[in-house]
Chains A and B, each alone.
Chain A
Amino acid sequence: MSRLVTYLFSSVGQKKLMALSGLGWGLFALSHMAGNLLVFVGSETYNKYGHAIVSNPAIYVAEAGLVLLLLTHVFYGIRVSIQASKARSQGYVVKKSGDKEATLSSRTMKYTGIAVLGFIILHLWSFKYGAYYEVSYDGVVVRDLFRLMLEKFESPIYTWGYVAAVILIGFHLSHGVYSALQSLGINHPRYTPIIEKISVLYGILIAVGFASQPIYVHFVF
């Protein structure tokens, strides 16, 4: 038991957990984004998809899993930040620049992470725990999430705030996917350059995929 505790609180063990919990949410983001794209199919498909998810009893297991992963990720994120500020109690007067500077996405994980957490909470509040409308298809009453979504994206502030937030998610993932795989020990001269590119593309895919819904609804629908 103590070996496991030592592992989980060691600098190497903690980045494995950071990686696994991050990858879990990264994959969830992909499935959520794909679900959102049903907005292009129609309101009935959109609402029925939502209903199929929440009416499946496995949803409670999935939700508990996501909450656990998020708490793990946030806990270790805070721990890394505290360790970092302790490990450099006196900072530099002049900041690094040029060839020795790391990428912007890797340096700002803490800030994009905090913003994404804030967005997730706000997002749950406005959708999952938001106004409950109902609609009936062939006698089956389901939640009319489509209507709620249309109402939300009427507001330009909400629309652009949402777009900004999903860009930050994409930015966080563009370093996150590569970083998670590196933490899990996957690094090879043949694959790592490809993984780095896939990581950035994944971030772009998630950001563009999520942003397409509010932009479509606000301007076209």
Chain B
Amino acid sequence: MSDQNMKIKLRVWRQKGPTYPGKLETYELDNVNEHMSFLEMIDVLNEKLVQEGGEPVAFDHDCREGICGMCSMTIDGNPHGPNKGTTACQLHMRNYKDGDTITVEPFRATAFPVIKDIMVDRSAFDRIQQVGGFISVSTGNAPDAHAVPVSKEKADLAFDAATCIGCGACVAACKNASAMLFVAAKVSQYELLPQGQPEKEDRVLNMVAKMDEEGFGSCSNTGACSASCPKEISLENIARMNRAYSRASFKKR
């Protein structure tokens, strides 16, 4: 392993709390290893800050293996950094070179208020999920797996939609701060399956209403959401939700 140490200049958004004004602070790191993930680099920065008696940078992270959807930062204007189909924790410093300057900002949306520094409150997504992002299952024995037939194609599409980790990069990427891709993925995963049929009209009506109420913007089909999505959720899901919403609006009694 070649352990090239790089000098990196970091410009990090520092904000004490939701009601404080924030600003970019510049930090210099001269021992960044190319094998580090982006989050590990921030760990190193934080260690340095603590040793110097400063306040560490608050940022969200959990699994650090690209599946939990917890990390949420905008790196040089791109949610989760420049690479497609990855989360910030899976972005490695080998993508940068010695002497680079990197700007780190929070996901910016009014519906995602900053808690501190680059950590934002994404509970608006939870509230959208709570009004319909589920199916109701009676208690009792689990039915046989083959009792409800599902075509392979539908199962795959539903699974693709279900890979959404709810990180919020779609909102961060959208010029309108729209949550359409997230909601579309959550609607689609059930819309495609027989198990989702009994509640499908209420689901899409309630989830869209909640999305609008939470103050997300509107969709103008730029596709920045899908391009920034670590799970590369397709815009096809938004079209499916558009159809489902219209159908439910006119059909539901």
Contact = CB atoms under 8 A, between A and B. Distances in A.
Nearest to A102: B222
B125 interface: no
Interface in A55-100: 79-80, 83-84, 86-100
A92 B109 CA distance: 10
Interface stretch (A13-21, A37-45, A147-155, A157-165): A13-21
Contacts of B13: 93
B179 to A, nearest CB: 9
A11 interface: yes
Interface in B216-253: 216-224, 227-228, 235-236, 238-243, 245-246, 249-250, 252
Chain B interface size, as a band, is: 35 or more
**What is the interface residue range for chain A against chain B?**
35 or more
Given A87-B178, A94-B76, A184 B109 contact: no
Contacts of A183: 219, 221, 242
Given A90-B108, A97-B78, A11 B211 contact: yes
A12 interface: yes
Contact of B245 (A12, A79, A109): A12
Given A6-B249, A92-B105, A15 B239 contact: no
Interface stretch (A120-128, A186-194, A211-219): A186-194
* Chain B binding surface, main DSSP class: mixed
A182 B238 contact: yes
Interface in B161-186: 173, 175-178, 180
| A contact face: mostly helix, strand, loop, or mixed | helix
Given A97-B78, A99-B84, A102-B224, A89 B218 contact: no
A197 to B, nearest CB: 15
B185 to A, nearest CB: 14
B208 interface: yes
A138 interface: no
Contacts of B175: 84, 102, 107
A205 B216 CA distance: 36
Contacts of B77: 92, 94-97
A11 B208 contact: yes
Nearest to A15: B219
A16 B218 CA distance: 12
Contacts of A102: 175, 222-224, 227
15 contacts: A3-B249, A7-B246, A10-B209, A12-B208, A15-B218, A15-B219, A83-B176, A88-B110, A89-B110, A97-B76, A106-B223, A182-B239, A185-B240, A185-B246, A188-B236
Q: Which 3 A-B pairs have the closest CB atoms?
A: A187-B239, A87-B217, A185-B243
